[in-house]
Amino acid sequence: MSKLTPEKSIVVLVSGDGSNLQAIIDQISQGKINGKIIAVIANKENAYGLIRAKESNIPAIFIDHKSFTSREDYDAELMNNIDNFSPDLIVLAGFMRILTSEFVEHYHGRMLNIHPSLLPKYKGLDTHQRAIAAGDREHGASVHFVTPELDGGPVVLQSKVPIFEQQDADELAERVKQQERQMYPLVVSWFCAGRLKMANNKAMLDDKVLSEMGYAIG
Ligand code: GAR
């Protein structure tokens, strides 16, 4: 991989398993991402993502949201912890909290999220069950820049999976996660190569504005 731009530093926020985190760790160790994860922070003590971080010698920090009386106070503490590392990029990888607009604005243009639906469909929770219940034939995941509107920031990349008859939400979720583990490291690699930016609330790759469905080949 060419290193035309300096290596980018990344803080990853997780709440659970951290399989997306692991995919990014793996691609960094394979030299496919011009970046380094300098900390993993979780709001849940038992988040397996913290163990994955420790196994890769990445500082792993637990900040308990239950110790704070307000969302503002928690986000301020989270921000302090993140800013201690001065990261270039914040990666939300299954971080299951609604963020205050102060927090989101502070990381304007340098915070990415992955959401398990073909945005703008199914913002929020229970996306797999909602897609099945609606009779959709396809579902998927989206990587997007984070803006104050929940799951509403500009999409960078989407990946689709078919919904088969009789498929339950857990099976569908696993198939979506297989796609996520391919697409999230790719988008992180674009950002770390200096190719991906947000400008005027649009995602731009190689100085071209991406469509509302994100990057498409051709
Ligand atoms: C992923 O499916 C991600 O899309 C979803 O949480 C899962 C985390 O998996 N995120 C959201 O629902 C955010 N609204 P992981 O912990 O194995 O990476």
What CATH number is attached to the domain comprising 68? 3.40.50.170
What is the percentage of the chain residues whose pLDDT exceeds 90? 94
The answer to whether residue 196 sits within a structural domain is yes
Closest by alpha carbon to 111, among 86, 85, 83, 92? 92
Confidence at residue 4, expressed as pLDDT on a 0 to 100 scale? 65
Ligand 1 atom, smallest distance to 49 CA: 16
Kindly give the distance from the C-alpha atom of residue 17 to the centroid of ligand 1, in angstroms, as a whole number.
8
Q: What is the mean pLDDT of residues 22-36?
A: 98
Mutate to test the pocket of ligand 1, among 19, 48, 159 (most ligand atoms within 8 A of CB): 19
Give yes or no: 115 in active site.
yes
Kindly give the distance from the C-alpha atom of residue 19 to the centroid of ligand 1, in angstroms, as a whole number.
8
Confidence at residue 1, expressed as pLDDT on a 0 to 100 scale? 55
The answer to whether residue 140 sits within a structural domain is yes
Confidence of residue 10 (pLDDT cuts 50, 70, 90): very high
Ligand 1 atom, smallest distance to 22 CA: 18
Q: pLDDT (tens digit, 9 = 90+) per residue, 150-190?
A: 999 999 999 999 999 988 999 999 999 999 999 999 999 99
The answer to whether residue 217 sits within a structural domain is no
Active-site residue, from 65, 106, 108, 115: 115
Q: What is the mean pLDDT of residues 100-111?
A: 98
Confidence at residue 216, expressed as pLDDT on a 0 to 100 scale? 84
Confidence at residue 54, expressed as pLDDT on a 0 to 100 scale? 98
pTM over 0.95: yes
Count of the separate structural domains present in the chain: 1
The answer to whether residue 203 sits within a structural domain is yes
Confidence at residue 6, expressed as pLDDT on a 0 to 100 scale? 87
The answer to whether residue 3 sits within a structural domain is no
Ligand 1 atom, smallest distance to 21 CA: 18
- Is the preceding omega at residue 185 within 30 degrees of 0, hence cis? no
- Is the preceding omega at residue 120 within 30 degrees of 0, hence cis? yes
Whether pLDDT at 147 is above 80? yes
Ligand 1 atom, smallest distance to 93 CA: 18
Q: What is the mean pLDDT of the chain?
A: 96
Which residue's CA is minimally distant from atom 10 of ligand 1?
94
Phi, psi (deg, nearest 5) at residue 160: -105, 150
The one-letter code for the residue type at 66 is K
Confidence of residue 5 (pLDDT cuts 50, 70, 90): confident
Closest by alpha carbon to 24, among 118, 102, 105, 94? 94
Residues with CB under 6 A from ligand 1: 14, 16-20, 93-94, 114-116, 141, 177, 180
Q: What is the mean pLDDT of residues 39-54?
A: 98
**Greater pLDDT, 218 or 81:** 81
The answer to whether residue 155 sits within a structural domain is yes
Q: Across the strands, what pairs with 11?
A: 39, 90
Q: Which two tokens stand for residue 197?
A: 């930016």
Instruction: List the domain range (segments joined by +) for residue 122.
Output: 8-209
Mutate to test the pocket of ligand 1, among 27, 92, 180, 187 (most ligand atoms within 8 A of CB): 180
Confidence at residue 218, expressed as pLDDT on a 0 to 100 scale? 52
The answer to whether residue 218 sits within a structural domain is no
The answer to whether residue 214 sits within a structural domain is no
Quote the CA–CA distance of 131 and 88 in Å, as a whole number: 35
Whether pLDDT at 2 is above 60? no
**Greater pLDDT, 139 or 217:** 139
Confidence at residue 3, expressed as pLDDT on a 0 to 100 scale? 56
